[in-house]
Amino acid sequence: MKKIKIKKGILSILPLFCLLFNGGCNINVNLNVNNTPRLKWWQKTIAYEIYVKSFKDSDGDGIGDLNGITSELDHLKDMGVGAIWLTPCYVSPQADNGYDIADYYNIDPAYGTMEDMDRLIDEAGKRDIRIVMDLVFNHTSDQNEWFLKSRSSKDNDKSDWYIWADPKEDGSAPTNWRSIFGGSAWEYDENRGQYYLHTFLPQQPDLNWANPEVREELCNIAKFWIDKGVGGFRMDAITYIKKPAVFKDGTPDAEDGLAGIHSITANTDGILDYLHEFRSSVQDGNDIFTVGEANGVTSEDLDKWVGKNGVFDMVFSFELVNIDLPDENNWCVTRDWDLKKFKSFFSENLLSADSADGWFPVFLENHDQPRSINHFMPDDGERIAKAKALSVLLLTMRGTPFIMQGEELGFENVDWSSITDYNDISTKNHYEFLLGEGYSEEEAMAGIRRFSRDSSRTPMQWDDSENAGFTTGTPWLPVYPDYKEFNCAVERKDPDSVLNCYIELSKLRREHSELTEGDYKDILPDDENIFAFTRTKDDSKAIILINFTSNEVSYDGGLTEGATCIFSTTPKEQRGHLAPYGAVIYEM
Ligand code: NOJ
């Protein structure tokens, strides 16, 4: 089959065209990988995100660490994981759990030493697993020596490494921008008599990428880690690095009179020039992959971000995780969505990535998001069945799956009653913001329980001993009370567990190459209950059917005629029917 080249402008109207003239959403029917050169290692593997602070504590201080990770590598190997994305473990005052970096060349003592890191890279390598570092390059910690110097005067060699601006005439902040974590995005510095910009916390001052020295140093950091043998980078908050040429007030979007910074500084013109420079300096010629955290990049922009003309190998889009959240600034305002919309996200992004010769990272959770069974599944019905249904989606979709730690055990959102139970600074700030907007405590807490980042950060549950085997000390964040039932040791022994479902699916993915390399086609785009798609490579075709409801549902049995069932989340697969949250895979 020939690969169709699609012009940029056509991308946005193509789904509509397909709908009108193709009798359904069959949009990538002609986009196949048969002409694609052999897939690279990171396209064929499964990636796993480790929230370092919560994975495994080896020294009893209640905080996860690198040696803890090394001790549990076999758990990941069993799931076919080939890349581990580590959340930042560099030296940091931990104002935002490591996303505020004071020294990019050293490991935070709470997490271990550089020798521990070398050993982790080495031990992972023995199991064909590569370590992926989180590069937080939009900002540093305010304790980074670059910033300490920058704020010390207006004329030192780092004075222009951050975004400094004079006050307005009345002495107030240069603009009315609201930081992503709430409050003004500007902080006044007495010493310089100026404000500095922080897209996130005041303890996270934004770097000035317009300064070539800054860009050069950031490339040096990446090269340092490549020399250590890491397999890639996740690029944090990367769409915010280029600031607008002129700083001016935005239209206030809430009672606080501020304008959310995202709509003003995300993905501004010229950003790709910086990133092309980064790509050619750091990545070209090295066998690593990059995945950008790209809030503000939509399926229509993908051809500029990934693939042969792009700047990264993959980007994490926010369209799916924000399917129910029209405005990330306000967790009390949600919107309805349906399965058709959910499915169209995959069709559109795969089409876009494929047509740019790019690749797609499949993820349903990460450390900033709610747990997927709460996020994407109805409230009723059985938790284990829901977790398994989503695992089938994650591990059979075209692209590189990213599993969030705990997702493979069926973790759900925390259900804490008071804001004081929460740890995440953005959650606490958001709560204050909601009260300021006039919401009651009860309403604000409902938003917090739904979207707080703490849900995906509770300690990993290894067994049913005290603290779930995470630590012998006091865990930095409470272990979730369901750990006696949902933990690695118990689930490993239970053939019907969520964990064994992940292990089995990952094996299937390795054994049936169409599940890794095959084309994707949504075969029931209009069905409101079932997500059904095929993955086709040469003569092999897998048909995947997932019931997203708590009811038994039926489909046209002809769809799977002549095919053999190779996997089912329920014991008795019955052709033409799916059990509540049941998922099956057929192969022809
Ligand atoms: C995105 C990260 O995923 C999040 O955890 C962090 O708080 C912000 N960027 C700031 O670095």
> Is any atom of ligand 1 closer than 6 Å to the C-beta of 368?
yes
Residue 96 Cβ inside 6 Å of ligand 1? The answer reads yes
Structure tokens at 121: 């890279």
Residue 25 pLDDT: 36
Write the residue with the smallest CA distance to atom 11 of ligand 1.
Answer: 99
Q: What is the pLDDT of residues 144-162, one digit of tens each?
A: 999 999 999 999 999 999 9
- The two three-digit tokens of residue 111, written as one number: 């997490």
Q: Is the C-alpha dihedral spanning 261, 264, 267, 272 positive or negative?
A: negative
Ligand 1 atom nearest 96 alpha carbon: 7
* pLDDT band, very low/low/confident/very high, at 519 (cuts 50, 70, 90): very high
The answer to whether the beta carbons of residues 247 and 165 sit under 8 Å apart is yes
pLDDT at 14 over 80: no
324-333 in b/e form (b: 16+ CB < 10 A) is: ebebebbbbe
- CA-closest residue to ligand 1 atom 10: 99
Amino acid at position 72, single letter: E
What is the Å distance from ligand 1's center to 492 Cα? Answer: 32
Task: Please give the number of the atom of ligand 1 that sits closest to the Cα of 181.
Answer: 7
Does residue 52 contact residue 98 with C-beta atoms inside 8 Å? yes
Q: Where are the alpha helices (DSSP H) in 438-566?
A: 441-451, 488-493, 498-511, 514-517
pLDDT higher than 50, residue 33? no
Average pLDDT value for residue range 433-443: 97
Can you spell out the DSSP letters for 10-48? Answer: HHTTHHHHHHHHSSS--TTTT--STTS----HHHHSEEE
Q: What are the b/e assignments for 8-30, b being 16+ CB within 10 Å? A: eeebeebbeebbeeeeebbbbbe
The token pair that represents 549 in the structure block: 């409801």
Residue with tokens 């797609």: 360
Q: What angle do CA 522, 523, 528 make, to 5 degrees?
A: 85
**Would you state the pLDDT for residue 27?**
34
In this prediction, residues 295-305 reach a mean pLDDT of: 95
Q: How far apart are CA 181 and CA 433, in angstroms?
A: 10
Q: Is the distance from CB of 546 to CB of 528 less than 8 angstroms?
A: no
Q: Which residue has a Cα nearest atom 4 of ligand 1?
A: 368
pLDDT for 413 equals 98
Cβ 99 under 6 angstroms from ligand 1: yes
Model confidence at 322: pLDDT above 80: yes
Q: How far apart are CA 434 and CA 507, in angstroms?
A: 45
CA distance 292 to 282: 14
**Distance from C-alpha of 337 to C-alpha of 57, rounded to nearest angstrom:** 39
The residues annotated as belonging to the active site are 236, 293
Closest C-alpha to 214, from 165, 261, 161: 161
**Does 3 have pLDDT greater than 50?**
no
Model confidence at 108: pLDDT above 70: yes
The Å distance, Cα 164 to ligand 1 centre, comes to 22
Beta strand spans in 243-326 (E): 259-260, 289-293, 314-316
Is ligand 1 within 6 A of the CB of residue 136? Answer: yes
3 state DSSP class of 319 = coil
The Å distance, Cα 453 to ligand 1 centre, comes to 10
Rounded CA-CA distance 577/582 in Å is: 9
| CA nearest ligand 1 atom 2, residue | 236
Which residue type is seen at 484? K
For residues 201 and 96, is the Cβ–Cβ distance under 8 A? yes
**pLDDT tens digit sequence for 58-68:** 999 999 999 99
Ligand 1 centre to CA of 321 (Å) is: 15
Rg (CA), the chain: 24
Binned at pLDDT 50, 70 and 90, residue 13 comes out as very low
Specify the residue with its C-alpha closest to ligand 1, atom 5.
368
Mean pLDDT of the chain, nearest integer: 94
Question: Which SS3 state, helix, strand or coil, does residue 82 take?
Answer: strand
The answer to whether the CB of 56 falls within 8 A of the CB of 462 is: yes
Angle, helices 212-228 vs 271-278, to 10°: value is: 40
pLDDT computed for residue 37 by the predictor = 59
The model's pTM: 0.94
Q: What is the pLDDT of residue 1?
A: 30
- Which helix (H) or strand (E) segment holds residue 350: the answer is helix 339-355
- The bridge status of strand 90-91 relative to strand 103-107 is antiparallel
Pairwise CA distance, residues 467 & 368, whole Å: 23
Pick from 204, 322, 368, 451 the residue to mutate for probing ligand 1's pocket: most ligand atoms within 8 Å of its CB.
368
Task: Extract the tokens encoding 256.
Answer: 């606080």
Q: How far is the CA of 373 from the centre of ligand 1 (A)?
A: 22
Ligand 1 pocket, 186 CB below 6 A?
no
The mean pLDDT value for 333-355 works out to: 97
Amino acid at 341: K
User: Where do the DSSP E strands lie in 322-415?
Assistant: 361-363, 400-404
HSE of 573 in the Cβ direction (CA atoms, 13 Å)? Answer: 20
CB 293 within 8 A of CB 317: no
Q: Is the CB of 200 under 6 A from ligand 1?
A: yes
Question: Mean pLDDT across the stretch 7-27?
Answer: 38
Please check the confidence at residue 7 and state whether its pLDDT lies above 60.
Answer: no
Q: Note the pLDDT tens digit of each residue in 252-275.
A: 999 999 999 999 999 999 999 999
